[in-house]
Amino acid sequence: MAQLWGGRFTKETDKLVYNFNASIGFDQKFFHQDVQGSKAHVTMLAKQGILTEDEKNQIIAGLDSIVADVDSGKLEITSEYEDIHSFVEANLIDRIGDAGKKLHTGRSRNDQVALDMKLYVRDEIKEIDELVKKLLETLNKIMEENLHTYMPGFTHLQKAQPITLAHHMGAYFEMFRRDRGRLADIYDRMNYCPLGSGALAGTTYPLDRAYSAELMGFAGPTMNSMDSVADRDYVIELLSAMSTIMMHLSRFSEEIIIWNSNEYQFVEIDDAYSTGSSIMPQKKNPDIAELVRGKTGRVYGALMSILTTMKGIPLAYNKDMQEDKELTFDAIDTVKGCLALFEGMISTMKFRNDVMENSAKHGFTNATDAADYLVNHGVPFRDAHGIVGQLVLYCIEHKKALDDMTMEEFKAISPVFEEDIYDATSMETCVNKRNTIGAPGPEAMKKVIALVLTVMMMLSLTACGGGGTKDTGLPGIDMKSAEVQTVSSDRATLEVLNETFSTYLGGLNYFTDSDPQAKLTYADLKEHIGVDCSTYQYQEEYQRGVYTWYTGEDDACALALFIGDNGKLVAAGAYNLGM
């Protein structure tokens, strides 16, 4: 039994106790993070003169050789070690001798495991974020392709008003966009390094904690050593965010299951994402959607478990906190698997446009528009509401849609109806005239799609350590090589960008290149994104660093830039407004 303690004990730990206490069966998952932290630690120790350069080099070389052997399968992580820390240290000492015994200088397992878990969670947040981003890209593609795909919108699972598939997918786009924002918030809040906190009260060694943090890409060291080793808020926050992601996936899955049923037939799931029955040859089951829906409770369970574990723990570290790992690891793997499979399912899924539109027509989703028609012809709304109720009742009794009624039938219920009622209540009219931002009208949806592409890019460059943070050592994006994203839209796109940014970010002020308050010069912009903005006719600055440029009518081009508080370019979007 290899462990990092035992000097004050007179006999060996009972085997059952040892197995109950050991964590090697699951904490080996952050083997690479443990080595990463150890390499940073000894590098800092050498800088501070606590280790010699030769000792540092020996330790790092030994750690690298362990990693190489584990990755190649030459060295196996086995249960003879209490935990991943003892596995690494014992093998290091076997390889390099006494220098390896200095690895743990100025460090406790308490701050070591806190560091390993943070490094692991931070890496996983970035992977989850990429999967959510890919799902958003797929949703955006479906939105772009289905601006005129009419379908019923529902309330209480009853057909309510006509919308488009683009609009329906846009609702889920917003959900998953918020999920990315939550992941970015968690990343920023947790991105402080606990290494150097010791068991709970720091250490007498002259450690440079800020340097250790910098080596590993943290924003800085944590500010209280007791909290550093006892903090699992970031685990709870991640499990909460993942539970929300799973809730969104589950809601979406529920709709796909319904849409895939024989009664709806709105979609056909690809064979690659379906299964059959062992006894009923006609069956094609939406098992992926059902499993995603089912696994949501599994992730919820992990969240409730860690909340329950942490609720009664006094400061500082307690062994209970070892329970933060297994369920968290499982929840992370579950969410990543569900996101990948769900994206594959909807990207290959076929939408039956004709069935959806026919369902909207025969579900009286245009009844509200028929009432509005009467109101626009002088009928009080409450009277109009009653008249259209009679129309619906008549259609149900005669098994027809409002669109199928003859003019004589319309006039028999109200003489106000004229031939233009057919145009007023067509699916196209019902949808197209709803063009306020957020509505299903195609013009509104085009503007929103153009806007969300910019928002997606901004999130990509700022979320999870991106966006101008390269100088701090965080994993970011070098804006000099960042692509400028181009989308097709109309000139009104710029107007909605301006309107939206003004609404959310405050008023606007004009500035020119000669304005001393300007954060970037035209030369800076050309260097950053390869676009010469000096020929652009208008320049507008929004507070909090959102800028837009656009050329004259003939050029029909716009550029949106997002400037961070530090004056660095964090996102850019170019738009062809003449398409």
CA atoms within 13 A on the CB side of 199: 3
Question: Residues 292, 294, 300, CA angle at the centre, nearest 5°?
Answer: 95
Alpha helices in 48-96 (DSSP H): 53-72, 84-96
Report the C-alpha gap between 498 and 492 in whole angstroms: 10
Report the C-alpha gap between 214 and 390 in whole angstroms: 72
Catalytic residue among 79, 261, 277, 534: 277
Residue 277 among the catalytic residues: yes
Handedness of CA 55, 56, 61, 65 (dihedral sign): positive
DSSP string, 422-465: HHHTSHHHHHHT--STTSS-HHHHHHHHHHHHHHHHHHHHHGGG
Report the C-alpha gap between 77 and 66 in whole angstroms: 11
Element (H, E) at 351: strand 350-351
Among all chains, which residue has been given the structure tokens 């290494």?
195
Residue 528 among the catalytic residues: no
Rg over CA atoms, the chain: 30
CA atoms within 13 A on the CB side of 285: 11
Report the C-alpha gap between 95 and 69 in whole angstroms: 12
Q: Do 29 and 117 contact (CB within 8 A), yes or no? A: no
CA distances from 391 to 317, 369, 406, 414, 493 (A): 70, 13, 12, 9, 40
- 556 burial class (0-12, 13-18, 19+ CB within 10 angstroms)? middle
CA distances from 284 to 351, 356, 522 (A): 16, 20, 58
Q: Which residues are CB-contacts of 19 (< 8 A; sequence separation ≥ 6)?
A: 79
Q: Hey, what amino acid is at 472?
A: T
Catalytic residue among 156, 278, 481, 514: 156
Element (H, E) at 501: helix 492-505
Report the C-alpha gap between 62 and 215 in whole angstroms: 19
Structure tokens at 478: 């070098």
Q: Which residues are CB-contacts of 155 (< 8 A; sequence separation ≥ 6)?
A: none
Report the C-alpha gap between 260 and 274 in whole angstroms: 11
Q: Do 235 and 328 contact (CB within 8 A), yes or no? A: yes
Q: Which residues are catalytic?
A: 156, 277
